[in-house]
Amino acid sequence: MKAAVVDHRGGVPEYRDVDDPNPVEGQALLRVEAVPVENVDRAIVAGTHYTAAPFQAALPAVPCFDGVGRTADGTLVGFGGIEPPHGALAEYVVVPEGHWAPIPDGIEPSTAATLATAITGMSMKTAAGLQPGETVLVQGATGVAGRLAVQIARLLGAGRIVATGRDAAALASLADLGADAVIDTSVSDDDLVRAYRDAAGDGYDVVVDFLWGRPTRMLCEALIPETFAIGKPVRLVQVGEAAGDAFELPARAVRTSGLEIYGAARNLMAGMADAYAQVVEWVRSGELVIDVTTMPLSRIAEAWQRTDLRGSRLVIVPD
């Protein structure tokens, strides 16, 4: 079969022949229909992600480890559970029992392949318990996950939505998705702290954070009360690290600011079924729009190196 193979750390996947996979008992052979290429996949290939070691040890290897495929009887399923060197960027994958689930009717394979990213937006409810009327700040709102999170905040009944990004045109487009105010994070530190304070209204209740790094460092600074007052709770959900994987957190940003930090995984398994069903319902009704750009597996080298797909998820499909 054909697959996209990476030969060395940081390499560009090459479309070429590999051995056909042979499922054994307890495994299923799926024909791959759609595979999302996300930042985490690029970081694993680059060797910069904390989960990159097994992939790097298995080189040459096929990247990406989840997607959408068809079983022998034609059922469309979402799959995961595959391990290096056998990634999803291939014509077929062998998936262990229990690592696939049917895709609901009415969802296209390429859209189905992006549902996991949409689910991250649901962390404002599953991890942070968002209530209707609360104020939500989406950090990194011009990206794929962030644009979905802005829409999800609106659909969940947020009272005010503030969205951050670096590109003026992309930020302007967020009003159509439901943002009430936007913040350009590319300004100076002092200006950014002021912008977070000015846009907060009655204060942020929930922050969905795809950035971390400098913008979140400045947000923490902005949350510090300027008097001896005690700040109201701000439930920050850590989801991504597009702006950096670490920053220095001053004690004063925690002591009285109200800042509470949760991982996106908090309550995720307990809330997953409901979150998934809700996202599927919104996608089917057209209330939640997922921007997808598809390219065929044979053009993986070109697709992998694209840098122009801001806000749109690259999904690799069969030729």
Q: What distance in Å separates the CA atoms of residue 113 and residue 103, rounded to the nearest whole number?
A: 10
185 binds ligand NAP (CB under 6 A): yes
Residue 212: CB minimum distance to ligand NAP, A: 8
Which helix (H) or strand (E) is 12 found in, with range?
A: none
DSSP 295: E
Stretch that binds ligand NAP, among 18-26, 92-100, 136-144, 173-181 (CB under 6 A): 136-144
Which of 55, 210, 262, 282 binds ligand NAP (CB under 6 A)? It is 210
CB 3 within 8 A of CB 89: yes
Q: What is the four-CA torsion angle of 309, 315, 316, 319, rounded to 10 degrees?
A: -100
Which of 140, 156, 200, 278 binds ligand NAP (CB under 6 A)? It is 140
Q: What distance in Å separates the CA atoms of residue 237 and residue 92, rounded to the nearest whole number?
A: 36
Judging by DSSP bridges, how do beta strands 259-263 and 234-238 pair with one another? parallel
240 binds ligand NAP (CB under 6 A): yes
> Quick one: CA dihedral 133, 139, 141, 143, positive or negative?
negative
Residue linked to tokens 């759609």: 34
CB count in 10 Å sphere of residue 200 = 18
Find, among 77, 86, 92, the residue nearest to 30 by Cα. 92
Residue 107: CB minimum distance to ligand NAP, A: 18
135 binds ligand NAP (CB under 6 A): no
Residue 192: CB minimum distance to ligand NAP, A: 10
Which of 239, 279, 297, 315 binds ligand NAP (CB under 6 A)? It is 239
Q: What distance in Å separates the CA atoms of residue 94 and residue 86, rounded to the nearest whole number?
A: 8
Q: What distance in Å separates the CA atoms of residue 131 and residue 249, rounded to the nearest whole number?
A: 27
Interface mask toward ligand NAP for 152-171; x: CB under 6 A:
-------------xxx--x-
144 binds ligand NAP (CB under 6 A): yes
Instruction: Tell me whether residue 70 or residue 266 sits nearer to ligand NAP (CB atom).
Output: 266
Residue 128: CB minimum distance to ligand NAP, A: 14
35 binds ligand NAP (CB under 6 A): no
Which of 110, 111, 114, 120 binds ligand NAP (CB under 6 A)? It is 120
Instruction: Tell me whether residue 37 or residue 94 sits nearer to ligand NAP (CB atom).
Output: 37
Residue 43: CB minimum distance to ligand NAP, A: 7
